[in-house]
Each structure stands twice: as structure tokens, then as C-alpha cells.
Amino acid sequence: MANPTDSAVSSVKSDPKPKQVKEAIVEIVSDSGEGAQKCGQSLGAISAKMGNGVWTVEIIPAEIQPPARSKAGASGIRVRMGSGPITNMGDQANLVVALNEQVLYGRIDQKAFKPGTYLLIEKKWADNPSEDIRNDYRKSIRKFKQLGYLIHEIPMEEECLKIVNDARKGKNMWVLGLLCHIYDRDLEIASEQIRYVFRKKDQQVIQNNLDLLQAGYDWATRNLDIHYSIPPNPREGDHVVMNGNEALSLGVMAAGIEVCSMYPITPATSATHAMAETMESAGGIIHQAEDEIAAIGFAIGASYAGKTAVTITSGPGIALKTEFIGLAVMAEIPLVIVDVQRGGPSTGLPTKVEQGDLLSVLYGAAGDAPKIVIAPATIEECFHYVILARKLAESFRSPVFVLTDANLATGVQPFPRPVIKPDWFAPPLDQSPWKEGLKPYDWDHATGLSKRPIPGQKGGMYTLTGLAHDEDSHVAYDPAINQRAAESRSRKLAALLKTLKKPVVHGDEEGDLLLIGWGSTKGAIEEAVDRARDMGASISSLHLHFLSPLEPGIKEILKKFKKVKTVEINYSDTVGDPLITKENRRYAQLAWYLRAHTLVDIDCFSNVFGQPISPYRILKMLEEEFDMKFTEDI
């Protein structure tokens, strides 16, 4: 507890012992700009510091400020806390704090929570000057009660106004206090968190927020009988907690990348925000280019000149960059390209989750453009995969894609604190004289690999070109030269494949059903598989991290299962829908790719709801596969 001489908050705990639970899911929903996300992120950080497993995911409307009190305009956050590690957003929330009642409708429609859930709703709308609002409020409360929700109407604003003049600036910390009591959070850690969150503000602001935290906590103590504890499991060693975009940004710096060239696009840009303050002290520069095309062109120019570079974007940005990506493949320019995927096609769902870019990244360019594609599955991997990508790009003289998505971008999870190693950095610029007689594309017959000259290297002068070229980089339209050059570029992937290990199956290595996933769905898939296995299903899963080249031995793994199905967040037809047959069905992206690769009749389970996939949804699908019951109905 806090030091009493300090002006920090202190607990007045007088209520009975909290009920111990293994995990809890909380949602805080509001109109945009009410600070719900800051509240949830703080709750997540406090829980992580206490030693709990945590996953947070933001609920984001596409607009900065959609109309207030709109049913679909919910902005907010989900926080899942557990005794053990938490790898995904989970199923339905156990408790929801709503700053207005209208935003609950959209979440209920999305089955984000189920009857029996606690809804803690701001009460001020009951006394609103507008009769319409008062009526809407009363009607909604009645309806939620009828639906079986457990309603608590809470005078949040009224209580906040006892401390601050403007409740809008502070209600979130009062709610944090409320939640800290409900989930038995350590108030000293919570106070530290508030001091950290408001570290750039003046003392009065910090004190107000500490007072609000205390007031929310005390109010819950006096008025609520909802009280849980989630016993933490102690962790060994230092841990950090951050979201995937923050992990990417630290990865960029830890890889020693000197140029991060970008153009603002949701949901990728926050990665650049996270590095903005530190990048220059870490030896690099962020270049905000005039457009997506220029962003990659600039990175390619820097890389050609021997400076390691990354460009970070999302699907529409990849579409614009495609011609340059083809050039980077053709001219063999090392480059890291991060694609934080969002819903497509076109502008699509800018803030929502989709794994929709796999095929466009693999095949989007004109002609055959083999490149390396890797996909981190956890926040921790977002960090390490950038470092890996930088090394692969240089070793294989190739663009390397890192595919993440909006789920990883905003998901927050603790992981062991990486210890930065100097050998993660790019080697110093090579300005030694170029080996006499060595050609700029001296393709090794077996591996396709060649060493590249860098401007400044005496004797290495060549003109890089996107035209077909021979080993001297001379423009060459000769049929045999073009064939050989294409073979060499493709062979690099086969050479990389030689260094990869067979992926490990989660669960038994044989059985009735194998689920295959890639990217951010790993936690949800494995949790669903574990739950189904516990209930007797013969099921395993496989998660792929290398998508180009594909990891070795996949076909052998698949052969040991009666059925194979991918689980993805992208579009696929459903057999039985109007006009859709097994013959004309369009499959989910990894399924297409694996079917072609393995000639195995792989099925898929996918949707484009724009949401992270939950274990619940996967289990519902498995109920049909196994004709068993794995979930409760909602």
C-alpha cells in the first residue's frame, strides 16, 4: 500500500474477501475521446505489473469522433487478465463499464458479452435535459435487464465533479479506481501507473487523477458487491508490456535500421509514433514521405546506398508500393517492408483486423517476384521478427515482408525484456574496394546468391536496373539470360528453406483434425484446441511463421490428420451459400496457398467480421466438425 506521507491514494478495504477467479475479461466502452482506452491500458499495465497474464485489444471506430451516443460508434478497450499467460482477447466479457448506454448495443450485436454479464452504466443520462435522451436511457436499461444483464447504474459524473470541474477529463481514472477495487488491484502500482501516464503534465493534474482513482476505488468499496481477485503467477526476470506496433518500433531500432520511411496510414503509423522520440538517438531517422510510393522509393534509395531501411504500411499502401516491390525483387535490393494489415479491399476497414494481404504480398507484383514473407504471431515476435527480417534482407539480397495486423498492432501483452545485442545491428557500411572482376550479380548456381556492390566501393560501379539484366547489370533481353536471372532469384528462397526447421505441431502429431493458422490468430487457435482436447476431441494445430518460403515438411505433417482446415481472418466462400459449390468455392488465403503447395484438400474457416478471432468462434466451428459440445450458447 502507498506510503501515508505521500499524497498517493490508500485503500479503505472493509468489504469481504474477494472471490478468486482464474481470469476475467473487462470492456470499457464510450464515445470517442472519453479516455476509455487509457483507462483499459492502465488496467492492463497494472495487472501485468502485478504478475498477471494480460491481453488488451482496442475497440476503435473508423472516425476520430463519430456522433456521440451512436449505437455503432463504440470506442473503447477490452482487457483480459489471467493467472497464467494470456494469448488472445478471449470470448465474452464478464464485466462492462459503459459511459453511455447506447454504445452497448453494437457490442451486444457482436456478441462481445452475454446475458449474465455485469453492465456498469453511467447514470447521468437519466437526468439529461433532453427528453429523448432520458427516454432512450430508461428504455435501454429496461431492455438490458430483460435480456438478463446485471445492471448497475453508477453516478460516475456526479462523483467525479466532487473532485474536478470537467468530468470528461478524469472520468476514466475514476473508472480505473472502480475497476481496481472490483479486481482487487494493487493501489500502489495503480498510483505509479497514473504518475507514469501523466508524467508530462503538471503536479495538479497528477494529483487530481490520483484523487479520482481513490474516489472510484472507495465508491466501489462502499457501493458494489462485485469483488474478485486474480492471483498472479510470479514471473522470472524483467518483463516489458507493450503493443505490437511498439514492439515493431523497438525492433526497427534494435535491428540498427537507419532509415524508417513511411507515409501515415492506419493501423501502421503508431509504430512510427512509438519510435519518434528515440529513433535519432538510436542512430536512425524517420522520413515521412510525400506518399506511399515515395516512402518505399526513398527506403530503396537508402538501401541501395548501403543504409539499412524499412518502410511500414498497411494494405492500401502495399498496393501503391507494388511497382517498387517488384523493382526491389528484380534488382535484388535488401529492404524490410512491414505490412500491418487491416480490412480490405480498397479503403476497407481502416481500424479493423484482417489477414487479407497474404496473397497480394506473395503475388501482387508484375511477373514472378519471389520474396521472403514472415509473420509474427505474438507481440514479442513483432520485436524479434524485424531484426530477423533485416538480417534475411541483407543475407538474401531481397525484400522481406513482415506481416502483422491490427490485432497485433493494438494488442498488449507482457514478454521477457529483450537484451539489446550489438550484433543485431546492421554491419558498418562496407567501403572496401570491390573485388576485381566480380560482377554485381555473380549469381551462385546452387543458391542464386550474389554479393552486391555499394556506392563508394571503388571498382564496383554498376547501374542497377529494373529491366532484365545480365550478371553485369547490363540490360539484356536475351532469352537465356532472363531465364537464368529468374531462376537465380527464385533459388534464393530454396536456399533459405534449407536453413529452416520443420514446424512443431501443437498437440498430438496425428489425429482427426489439424487446424492451421498464421499471424495473430495463434493464441486463439491454440486456446480453442486445448479446450477441445480437454473435452476429448482429437485435434491439433500448426502455426506457420515463414510463409515464403513455406516451412519444410508441411505435407508430411498434414498426412497424419484425417482433415486439415485453416483458420484465418479473411474472406472465403461457404459451400451451400447461393451458387457456391465445392468446385467454385473461393478459399481463404492460406488455404489457397497450401492447397497449391501440398495438393492436399485443405478446408478453411474464415470470416471478415473485422474482429480478432475468438476461441469461442473456433470452438463453435469445432462443434460442427466433431458433433460435440464445447461452448455454452449465447
Tell whether omega for the bond before 345 is within 30 degrees of 0, i.e. cis: yes
User: 11 or 465, CB closer to other proteins?
Assistant: 465
DSSP string, 475-521: B---HHHHHHHHHHHHHHHHHHHTTPPPPPPBS-SSEEEEEEEEGGG
Min dist CB 247 to other proteins, Å, is 9
Cα separation, 587 vs 109, in Å, equals 27
Location of C-alpha cell 506473395: 362
Min dist CB 518 to other proteins, Å, is 26
User: 299 or 588, CB closer to other proteins?
Assistant: 299
Please give the residues from 474 up to 533 whose contact with other proteins meets the rule CB under 8 A.
474-475
Tell whether omega for the bond before 267 is within 30 degrees of 0, i.e. cis: yes
User: 45 or 59, CB closer to other proteins?
Assistant: 45
Contacts of 362 (CB under 8 A, 6+ apart): 371, 373, 547, 548, 593
Binding other proteins (rule: CB under 8 A), the pick from 163, 241, 248, 260 is 241
User: 370 or 453, CB closer to other proteins?
Assistant: 453
| 459 part of the interface to other proteins, by CB under 8 A | yes
User: 285 or 438, CB closer to other proteins?
Assistant: 285
| 258 part of the interface to other proteins, by CB under 8 A | yes
User: 192 or 573, CB closer to other proteins?
Assistant: 192
| 246 part of the interface to other proteins, by CB under 8 A | yes
Binding other proteins (rule: CB under 8 A), the pick from 1, 467, 494, 628 is 467
| 242 part of the interface to other proteins, by CB under 8 A | yes
**With left for phi above 0 and alpha for psi between -120 and 50, is residue 69 left, alpha or beta?**
left
| 457 part of the interface to other proteins, by CB under 8 A | yes
Q: What's the number of CA atoms in the CB half-sphere (13 Å) around residue 406? A: 31
Please give the residues from 272 up to 311 whose contact with other proteins meets the rule CB under 8 A.
275, 277-278, 280-285, 287, 289-291, 293-307, 309
Cα separation, 337 vs 607, in Å, equals 26
Min dist CB 490 to other proteins, Å, is 22
Location of C-alpha cell 493494438: 410
User: 39 or 547, CB closer to other proteins?
Assistant: 39
Binding other proteins (rule: CB under 8 A), the pick from 254, 337, 382, 528 is 254
If one counts every other C-beta atom within 10 angstroms of the C-beta of residue 577, the result is: 9
Min dist CB 291 to other proteins, Å, is 6
**With left for phi above 0 and alpha for psi between -120 and 50, is residue 495 left, alpha or beta?**
alpha
User: 299 or 340, CB closer to other proteins?
Assistant: 299
Which residue stretch of 12-20, 69-77, 207-215, 241-249 sits at the interface with other proteins (rule: CB under 8 A)? 241-249
User: 43 or 327, CB closer to other proteins?
Assistant: 327
Grid cell locating 500 = 529452416
Cα separation, 375 vs 546, in Å, equals 6
* 470-474-480-482 Cα dihedral, nearest 10 degrees: 80
| 471 part of the interface to other proteins, by CB under 8 A | no
- φ/ψ of 430, rounded to 5, equals -85, 115
The 325-344 contact track toward other proteins, x by CB under 8 A, reads: --x-----------------
Q: Is 302 exposed, middle or buried (0-12, 13-18, 19+ CB in 10 A)?
A: buried
| 160 part of the interface to other proteins, by CB under 8 A | no
Min dist CB 282 to other proteins, Å, is 4
Count of residues engaged in binding other proteins, rule: CB under 8 A: 70
Cα separation, 193 vs 195, in Å, equals 5
User: 106 or 418, CB closer to other proteins?
Assistant: 418
Q: What's the number of CA atoms in the CB half-sphere (13 Å) around residue 72? A: 2
Tell whether omega for the bond before 4 is within 30 degrees of 0, i.e. cis: no
Length of the chain: 634
| 1 part of the interface to other proteins, by CB under 8 A | no
Q: Is 189 helix (H, G, I), strand (E, B) or coil?
A: helix
Binding other proteins (rule: CB under 8 A), the pick from 418, 511, 552, 610 is 418
Min dist CB 429 to other proteins, Å, is 9
Beta-sheet strands, E only, within 285-421? 285-288, 309-313, 335-341, 372-374, 399-405, 412-416
| 629 part of the interface to other proteins, by CB under 8 A | no
Min dist CB 117 to other proteins, Å, is 28
Min dist CB 296 to other proteins, Å, is 8
User: 99 or 337, CB closer to other proteins?
Assistant: 337
User: 82 or 348, CB closer to other proteins?
Assistant: 82
Q: Do residues 275 and 260 touch, judged by C-beta distance below 8 A?
A: yes
Cα separation, 79 vs 525, in Å, equals 19
Report which of 582, 577, 626 is spatially closest to residue 602, judged by C-alpha positions. Answer: 582
Q: Do residues 55 and 88 touch, judged by C-beta distance below 8 A?
A: yes
Which residue stretch of 312-320, 365-373, 467-475, 503-511 sits at the interface with other proteins (rule: CB under 8 A)? 467-475
Cα separation, 558 vs 365, in Å, equals 30
Binding other proteins (rule: CB under 8 A), the pick from 455, 498, 556, 574 is 455
The 32-71 contact track toward other proteins, x by CB under 8 A, reads: -------------x--xx----------------------
Binding other proteins (rule: CB under 8 A), the pick from 238, 436, 577, 627 is 238
**With left for phi above 0 and alpha for psi between -120 and 50, is residue 400 left, alpha or beta?**
beta
User: 165 or 281, CB closer to other proteins?
Assistant: 281
Which residue stretch of 130-138, 459-467, 493-501, 518-526 sits at the interface with other proteins (rule: CB under 8 A)? 459-467
Residues that bind other proteins in the complex, under the rule CB under 8 A: 45, 48-49, 238-242, 246, 250, 253-254, 256, 258-259, 261, 275, 277-278, 280-285, 287, 289-291, 293-307, 309, 323-324, 327, 414, 417-418, 420, 422, 425, 453, 455-467, 474-475
